[in-house]
Amino acid sequence: MVWLFFMYGVLDMDIKEQIINKILNHNVYDIAIVVHNNPDEDAIGSAAALENVLLQLDKNVTFVTQNKIRKRYANIVGRHRVNRINVPYSHFDMVFVLDCSDESRVSFDLTRMSDTIIVIDHHANYKEYGTLCWRENVISDTILIYKLINKMQEMKLNVKFNKEIATALYMGLRGDSFNFRNPNVTAEAHEISADLIKKGADLNEINEIERYPRSILKLEREVWSNIMYDANYRIMYALINKDTIRNSDTTYAEASQIIDIMKLMQDVDVAVLFLSAEKNVYIKVRSTKYDVAKVMEHYGGGGHKLAAGAVVFSDSPFSLMNSVIKKIKELIDKEKQAKKSKK
């Protein structure tokens, strides 16, 4: 009977509470935070905010960086972390994996890092992994971190929702919602953002982070003169080869921002950017209505319904581009057909 009661108690317990109880366990001191490779604003913001709150709980925190974090994020993550890769070989009492729908987006074996892997993720499509998994399909992972910190305060833990946390969380919210333009933006997202502003989120800092580097102009000249557009399917796409990127002094991360300009164009339902590197081609897709993540999954990638990507090993970016565009057209045909038959 007691045992049954205990079982129900655990089942009843909210996942946030379960995670917090694991953090509070006195055996847990060394904690690592891992985010997906090539981290975006949401991944970086989630990690920075979680680190801040774990430090307040007197934990020893290691922010694992598989890729170099750009200088523009210096005020969010700390100047000492910029342009550094930090993948330690030590063992941790607990590892958090944030904003990462798939283990393959982590370049090392998570299980060698810790026996306790806590996944906090907001992607609609995901692969099951980790010891404890909190999935909620909201617009950014920072919303989940926001809820986690609120829960800590509800549980009367001594944690402050400071300005640094508010700024980091707001950055992720804005990044993953494409400045609150994505169709999945809810009233709750706006309420949370209002609360974060009340808590001191530094909007000027985030505006500064989101500005384009001037070097992108050189690249844009090349891209806009070679841009392709399919008026029937309303697909806009471009292929940037490695020499173009090198000659323009932009990084791949900077060059990939061009997708955000492409998707703002009128009469574009799908924007696709192909960035060719030494051996790989990076594909970025944005859509206003089609589930482009499905197409990216076909190429070993994934993401959100309207914002997805993949990295494909390919010697011929041009033929890869043609095959991806063909697949996207098939998807559009299929979704249009499905809509018709519904009517």
**Cα separation, 63 vs 70, whole angstroms:** 15
Cβ nearer to Mn ion, comparing 196 with 325: 196
Cβ at position 293, least distance to Mn ion in Å: 13
The verdict on 176 binding Mn ion (CB under 5 A) reads: yes
**Cα separation, 94 vs 195, whole angstroms:** 30
Stretch that binds Mn ion, among 96-104, 244-252, 273-281, 323-331 (CB under 5 A): 96-104
Closest CA to 142 of 163, 121, 117: 121
Q: Write phi, then psi, for 58 (nearest 5 degrees).
A: 65, 35
Cβ nearer to Mn ion, comparing 15 with 47: 47
**What angle separates helix 141-154 from helix 15-24, to the nearest 10 degrees?**
70
Cβ nearer to Mn ion, comparing 176 with 254: 176
Cβ at position 274, least distance to Mn ion in Å: 22
Total number of residues that touch Mn ion (CB under 5 A): 4
**Cα separation, 2 vs 18, whole angstroms:** 20
Closest CA to 43 of 268, 303, 267: 303
The verdict on 141 binding Mn ion (CB under 5 A) reads: yes
Tell which phi-psi region holds residue 212, choosing left (phi > 0), alpha (psi between -120 and 50) or beta. beta
The verdict on 41 binding Mn ion (CB under 5 A) reads: no
Stretch that binds Mn ion, among 23-31, 51-59, 171-179, 252-260 (CB under 5 A): 171-179
Cβ at position 117, least distance to Mn ion in Å: 18
Residue of 41, 51, 93, 99 that binds Mn ion (CB under 5 A): 99
Cβ nearer to Mn ion, comparing 20 with 120: 120
Cβ at position 167, least distance to Mn ion in Å: 17
Stretch that binds Mn ion, among 4-12, 82-90, 170-178, 184-192 (CB under 5 A): 170-178
Cβ at position 230, least distance to Mn ion in Å: 29
Cβ nearer to Mn ion, comparing 174 with 234: 174
257-295 b/e (C-beta count within 10 Å ≥ 16 → b): bbbbebbeeeebbbbbbbbbeeeebbbbbbbeebbbbbb
| CA dihedral angle for residue 202, residue 55, residue 85, residue 208, rounded to 10 degrees | 0
Judge contact between 306 and 286, C-beta under 8 A. yes
How many residues in total does the chain contain?
343
The verdict on 103 binding Mn ion (CB under 5 A) reads: no
Residue of 42, 103, 164, 254 that binds Mn ion (CB under 5 A): 42
Cβ at position 221, least distance to Mn ion in Å: 31
Closest CA to 227 of 263, 252, 200: 263
Stretch that binds Mn ion, among 20-28, 80-88, 98-106, 284-292 (CB under 5 A): 98-106
Cβ nearer to Mn ion, comparing 201 with 239: 201
Judge contact between 42 and 140, C-beta under 8 A. yes
Nearest residue to the partner Mn ion, using Cβ: 42
By the criterion CB under 5 A, which residues form the site for Mn ion? Answer: 42, 99, 141, 176
